[in-house]
Amino acid sequence: MIDEAPRQHAGRWAVVLMLMIAAGSYSSLRFAAFLWDAEQSLDKSEPYLPGLSAAAVPQDDNRDVGVDATDNEATEIDSLAAEEASRRVWLAEL
């Protein structure tokens, strides 16, 4: 009975170790598949988003000219100069 306890304990640890190795191998295979899919998508002009079709990916109309600002942001940027000028006039009146 004394000899059985260490063997059972070692057997349990062996099973746990084998399960950990199997899980690590599975995770490594999934990661390798993810990298392979990402590399395959580099040949296309679409961004890689797993689980989405190309039709579901929103396209940026300004990507060709390198402008990221939308019309609202452009209006805000243009109004900053006018706001700064009015602030300077207000400070000058003080």
User: Tens-digit pLDDT profile for the chain (94 aa)?
Assistant: 456 666 777 788 888 888 888 888 888 888 888 877 777 766 555 555 555 555 555 555 555 555 555 566 666 666 777 777 777 777 777 6
- Let me know whether 8 and 46 are in one domain: yes
65 and 52 belong to one structural domain: no
Where helices occur in 1-94 by DSSP H, the ranges are: 4-41, 71-93
Residue with tokens 């003080």: 94
Are 66 and 43 in the same domain? Answer: no
Q: Are residues 48 and 70 in the same domain?
A: no
* 37 and 10 together in one domain: yes
Q: Enter the tokens of residue 75.
A: 């209006």
**Are 64 and 52 within one domain?**
no
59 closest CA partner among 73, 45, 79: 45
pLDDT of residue 1: 46
Range of the domain at 30: 1-56
- pLDDT at position 84, please? 77
Residues 6 and 43 in one domain: yes
pLDDT of residue 32: 82
Same domain membership, residue 4 and residue 48: yes
Rounded to two decimals, what is the model's pTM? 0.32
